[in-house]
Chain A
Amino acid sequence: MPETLTLVKPHCYHCGEECLTTAYETDQKQFCCQGCQSVYTILSGAGFCSYYTYNDHPGTTRLRNDKKYDYLSDPTILAELLDYTDERLSIITLYIPHIHCSSCLWLLEQLNRFNPAIAYSRVDFLKKQLIVRFDPKGINLQQLVELLNDIGYEPLISLQDIIKKQNKEVKSNLVQKIAVAGFCFGNVMLLSFPEYFGLSAFEQNFKTFFGYLNILFGIPVVFYSGWGYFVSAWHNIRNKILNIDFPLALGIAVLFIRTVVEILTHSGAGFADTLCGLVFFLLVGKFVQQKTYHHISFERDYRSFFPVAVQVIAEGKEKPVPLAELKTGHRMVIRHNEIIPADAMLLQGEALIDFSFVTGEAVPVNRTLGEIIYAGGRQTGEAIELEVVKPVSQSYLTQLWNNEAFTRKQDTRMKTFNETVSKYFTIVLVAIAVGALLVWLPFNYRRGIDAFTAVLIVACPCALALSTPFTMSAALSIFDRNFFYLKNTAVVEQLARINTLVMDKTGTITTGGSKSIGLDAELNAEQRQLIFSACTNSIHPLSRMICKYLGDLIKLPVTGYREIPGKGITANVNGHQVRVGNDEMIFGEVKEGNNLTRVHLMIDDAYLGYFGFQHEYRAGLETVTGLSPAYELYLLSGDQDHERAELLRFFPDNAHLFFNQSPQQKLDHISQLQQKGLKVMMLGDGLNDSGALKQSDLGVAVTDNVNNFSPGSDAIMDGRAFNKLPAFLRFSKDTVKIIHISFLISLTYNLIGLSYAVTGTLSPLIAAVLMPLSTATIISFTTLATHFAAKRRKLL
């Protein structure tokens, strides 16, 4: 290997990461690790080199460990996972987060080249899904998944795979309904225009012909496309609810009946075009409202992250056991990067557990033999053996899911503006209609009926029904652009009503890796070893970081180890007195000032210097906390209150900082606030926050990678967007304002229409002009206004 190449620090040909060593090399190509190299050899072996031609470094770094997928041979699990199977064909849909470029597409759709038993493999890029049809006799699921893992596309398999569920859902035929409505709308316009453009006297036979055709086109619009409105209106009436669907259904019905009557009795041209237009626009509004993120799931709970099965040792043999069947007393084996699914006692091995997705704390912590390890931790390092002490369902974290907060229905959420307003709207509307009828009835019943129907037609709250969906979907895409993903449009309105913010600490307001460490002291090898040995005993995050910083040294025997909470540790190592702690402990007085935490080092009463810890709170935390007093701010942290001092710089009110909060406590805390009538928004990241997230009026999961873990929530926020939170809140308020204004606009249109209607002199032309005009106004207004508001809030 020529020196020059090592000097330029080559990048891995497969994944593009910088190669620290030149040890891995094939065909004069550098690789960062064994994994990438083996992927390359596999690919080039199968003549797949053009995998690398479509994009540079399309791959991903990966580490393989055996037995990981043994459970995929377990029949009960297979049954759970496969979409379809018979003796000669199995179909499975796999979620593969790594899918990211056309090379992935190209490679994954040619799995057949690796194994002819794979008949067909197809990628859905947005959903990051791979559908595979394979012959179970030729290759079983385990081998398939291992193959994928080998070529660097590890599927994320879990029993509760929401994303999979999403497309299992029955396809709503909304699109077809829109198509039909649109088709009829177009043709009806074609047939109604002549009327408006004026048919000459000798062309009246066209008029009737067109009229009949109009009725023909109207029928599918009412009875297919628009039918949903009648159904929901009926349901709501049955449950004593007056929602917007009622006036809509009424409008549609009246339009149709009057059209039919007028045409059949040759008393007019009818309102077919208004009818079709109305239904068409309404459905489009519906369509716009249902925005879905393919790559994000808001419904995840622990089951989506715990393994499908674990290796259990029975009669000295390992065999995979599905999680559900995991019982207390089972002895399970957890390997590197595997998650501990149930509270268990460590029986064997060096446990170095990463609780990052429970607490957000990234630094792994040691556990000593015999200690209880809570479910959700991820073992790093060698394989360990544990004995299950609680079944999955009763484990410390998972018991949360027995809480009523999770059984609670969504409809206890606050009512949207639309719901509240449409009730009164309907009442008024019907009142006016009946009023008009009664006024005319005495002198001219025909006119009365005209007026009655006309009112129901022009006042049909089409524009009103459209204002919310269009505004909200516009807002949604604005948030979307700023890495803030809302579950649905309703959440925007909830966001506007929030007046209390509750935040988790680690991982939420601090970034995953938390702190950066710097050593301000000259230490020789021995001193290093002494300090390391002392600190390994502590589970305090700072000690953990010191150990990590000092690297893997041999641990010397420690005696007289003492940890003074909130101060530091003293220990006797190899007959040396080691003291590691803060100012108070070392100098007996606090001289904190800047946000640099110092941990001083003393060996045998000789002061050596200190470790400096720079806290890495998320950028813009001060802007977020600046929301107070407008918003009430709370902090609920699962950790000790080491950082209270620093946090106080951000959070004005000491009484609002709570530490050592168990998941259950967090949840209870939220509900207490709610009982005080506060509208609470919870920002959390870990599994231990999920209870609180669920309980809150608006749970926001903060994460640094939307494809990774995020607990069930109403919204998912990318860490990068955290500092924009204030802007988001203001913007949401703007959107609600916009809705109110557009409501007024639509009202004015209704009033104009009514002025014609009540006198019973509504020509089809006026209706045909008013309806689309109001709709167009609303759509353009909401879209533009939202855009403008976003610009004002610097979100565009």
Chain B
Amino acid sequence: MSIIYFLIGCSVFLALAFLIAFFWAQKSGQNDDLFTPGMRILLDDETKESPKND
């Protein structure tokens, strides 16, 4: 079952990649404000010639 080594390797590397991603997110302030972004996506950026008031 040496395949286990390999699969564990993959899983751990994947997890590690995501851990690093998390660190980046934390460091770069991605998680500083965990409220406003939820509202922000509701607002559409309109342009002067095509205002879409929906």
Contact of B39 among A47, A125, A176, A183 (CB under 8 A): A125
Q: Does A209 contact B (CB under 8 A)?
A: yes
- How far does the Cβ of A292 sit from chain B's closest Cβ, in whole Å? 13
Q: Which residues of B contact A203 (CB under 8 A)?
A: 1
Q: How far is the CA of A183 from the CA of B46 in the complex (A)?
A: 42
- How far does the Cβ of A776 sit from chain B's closest Cβ, in whole Å? 24
CB atoms of A175 and B36 under 8 A apart: no
Contact of A49 among B16, B33, B40, B53 (CB under 8 A): B53
CB atoms of B4 and A206 under 8 A apart: yes
Q: How far is the CA of A173 from the CA of B15 in the complex (A)?
A: 20
Q: Which residues of A contact B48 (CB under 8 A)?
A: 47
CB atoms of B53 and A126 under 8 A apart: no
CB atoms of A179 and B15 under 8 A apart: no
Q: Which of the listed residues B31, B33, B35, B46 has the most CB atoms from chain A within 10 Å of its own CB?
A: B33
Q: Does B19 contact A (CB under 8 A)?
A: yes
CB atoms of A209 and B5 under 8 A apart: yes
Question: Chain A 491-522 against B: per-residue CB contact (8 Å), 1 yes, 0 no?
Answer: 00000000000000000000000000000000
CB atoms of B36 and A126 under 8 A apart: yes
CB atoms of B36 and A53 under 8 A apart: no
CB atoms of A187 and B51 under 8 A apart: no
Name which residue of chain A comes closest to B54, CB basis.
Answer: A53
Instruction: From known contacts A47-B48, A50-B51, infer whether A105 and B39 are also in contact, taking CB-CB under 8 Å.
Output: yes
CB atoms of A176 and B23 under 8 A apart: yes
Q: Does A347 contact B (CB under 8 A)?
A: no
Q: Does B12 contact A (CB under 8 A)?
A: yes
Q: Does A180 contact B (CB under 8 A)?
A: yes
Question: Chain B 5-44 against A: per-residue CB contact (8 Å), 1 yes, 0 no?
Answer: 1001001100110010011001000011101100110110
Q: Which residues of B contact A171 (CB under 8 A)?
A: 32
Q: Scan residues 643-691 of chain A and give those whose CB is less than 8 A from a CB of chain B.
A: none
Name which residue of chain B comes closest to A127, CB basis.
Answer: B33
CB atoms of A123 and B36 under 8 A apart: yes
Interface residues on B, range: 20 to 34
Contact of A53 among B5, B40, B53 (CB under 8 A): B53
CB atoms of A179 and B31 under 8 A apart: no
Q: Which residues of B contact A49 (CB under 8 A)?
A: 53
Q: Scan residues 146-177 of chain A and give those whose CB is less than 8 A from a CB of chain B.
A: 167, 171, 173, 175-176
Instruction: From known contacts A49-B53, A126-B36, infer whether A175 and B43 are also in contact, taking CB-CB under 8 Å.
Output: no
Q: Does A435 contact B (CB under 8 A)?
A: no
CB atoms of A106 and B43 under 8 A apart: yes
Name which residue of chain B comes closest to A107, CB basis.
Answer: B43
- How far does the Cβ of B40 sit from chain A's closest Cβ, in whole Å? 7
CB atoms of B19 and A180 under 8 A apart: yes
Instruction: From known contacts A124-B33, A125-B36, A175-B26, infer whether A102 and B53 are also in contact, taking CB-CB under 8 Å.
Output: no
CB atoms of B1 and A179 under 8 A apart: no
Q: Does A54 contact B (CB under 8 A)?
A: yes
Q: Which residues of A contact B39 (CB under 8 A)?
A: 102, 105, 125
Q: How far is the CA of A637 from the CA of B31 in the complex (A)?
A: 46
CB atoms of A105 and B43 under 8 A apart: yes
Name which residue of chain B comes closest to A202, CB basis.
Answer: B1
Q: Does A186 contact B (CB under 8 A)?
A: yes
Q: How far is the CA of A109 from the CA of B36 in the complex (A)?
A: 12
- How far does the Cβ of B52 sit from chain A's closest Cβ, in whole Å? 9
Q: Scan residues 79-114 of chain A and give those whose CB is less than 8 A from a CB of chain B.
A: 102, 105-106, 109
Q: How far is the CA of A105 from the CA of B38 in the complex (A)?
A: 12
Instruction: From known contacts A179-B26, A180-B19, A186-B15, infer whether A54 and B35 are also in contact, taking CB-CB under 8 Å.
Output: no
CB atoms of A126 and B35 under 8 A apart: yes
Q: Scan residues 31-52 of chain A and give those whose CB is less than 8 A from a CB of chain B.
A: 47, 49-50
- How far does the Cβ of A12 sit from chain B's closest Cβ, in whole Å? 21
Question: Chain A 266-296 against B: per-residue CB contact (8 Å), 1 yes, 0 no?
Answer: 0000000000000000000000000000000
Q: Which residues of A contact B53 (CB under 8 A)?
A: 49-50, 53
CB atoms of B43 and A179 under 8 A apart: no
- How far does the Cβ of A56 sit from chain B's closest Cβ, in whole Å? 14
Name which residue of chain A comes closest to B42, CB basis.
Answer: A102
CB atoms of B36 and A179 under 8 A apart: no
Q: Which residues of B contact A209 (CB under 8 A)?
A: 5
Name which residue of chain B comes closest to A110, CB basis.
Answer: B45
Name which residue of chain B comes closest to A180, CB basis.
Answer: B19
Name which residue of chain B comes closest to A53, CB basis.
Answer: B53
Name which residue of chain B comes closest to A191, CB basis.
Answer: B8
CB atoms of B43 and A183 under 8 A apart: no
CB atoms of B26 and A102 under 8 A apart: no
Q: How far is the CA of A587 from the CA of B4 in the complex (A)?
A: 101
Name which residue of chain B comes closest to A46, CB basis.
Answer: B48
Q: Which residues of A contact B22 (CB under 8 A)?
A: 176, 179
Q: How far is the CA of A127 from the CA of B35 in the complex (A)?
A: 10
Name which residue of chain A comes closest to B1, CB basis.
Answer: A203
Q: Which residues of B contact A105 (CB under 8 A)?
A: 36, 39-40, 43
Name which residue of chain B comes closest to A101, CB basis.
Answer: B39
CB atoms of B23 and A124 under 8 A apart: no
CB atoms of A183 and B19 under 8 A apart: yes
Name which residue of chain A comes closest to B23, CB basis.
Answer: A176
Q: How far is the CA of A203 from the CA of B1 in the complex (A)?
A: 8
CB atoms of B35 and A125 under 8 A apart: yes
Q: How far is the CA of A243 from the CA of B31 in the complex (A)?
A: 32
- How far does the Cβ of B32 sit from chain A's closest Cβ, in whole Å? 8
Q: Which residues of B contact A176 (CB under 8 A)?
A: 22-23, 26
CB atoms of A47 and B51 under 8 A apart: yes
Q: How far is the CA of A50 from the CA of B45 in the complex (A)?
A: 11
Name which residue of chain B comes closest to A217, CB basis.
Answer: B12
Q: How far is the CA of A126 from the CA of B32 in the complex (A)?
A: 11
CB atoms of A126 and B46 under 8 A apart: no
Q: Which residues of A contact B46 (CB under 8 A)?
A: 50
Contact of A126 among B8, B16, B31, B33 (CB under 8 A): B33
Name which residue of chain A comes closest to B31, CB basis.
Answer: A175
CB atoms of B15 and A187 under 8 A apart: yes
Instruction: From known contacts A54-B43, A175-B26, A176-B23, infer whether A187 and B12 are also in contact, taking CB-CB under 8 Å.
Output: yes
Contact of B36 among A50, A54, A124, A173 (CB under 8 A): A124
Q: Which residues of A contact B40 (CB under 8 A)?
A: 105, 109
Contact of B19 among A123, A124, A167, A179 (CB under 8 A): A179
Q: How far is the CA of A124 from the CA of B42 in the complex (A)?
A: 15
- How far does the Cβ of B48 sit from chain A's closest Cβ, in whole Å? 6
Instruction: From known contacts A47-B51, A176-B26, infer whether A183 and B15 are also in contact, taking CB-CB under 8 Å.
Output: yes
Q: Which residues of B contact A180 (CB under 8 A)?
A: 19
- How far does the Cβ of B46 sit from chain A's closest Cβ, in whole Å? 7
Q: Which residues of A contact B1 (CB under 8 A)?
A: 203, 206
Q: Which of the listed residues B11, B35, B39 has the most CB atoms from chain A within 10 Å of its own CB?
A: B39
A171-B32, A183-B15 given; 6 more Cβ-contact pairs under 8 Å: A102-B39, A125-B39, A127-B33, A183-B16, A186-B15, A187-B15
* Interchain Cβ contacts under 8 Å between A and B, 8 examples: A105-B39, A106-B43, A125-B39, A176-B26, A180-B19, A190-B11, A213-B8, A213-B12
The 5 A-B residue pairs with the shortest CB-CB distance, nearest first, are A125-B36, A50-B53, A106-B43, A126-B35, A53-B53
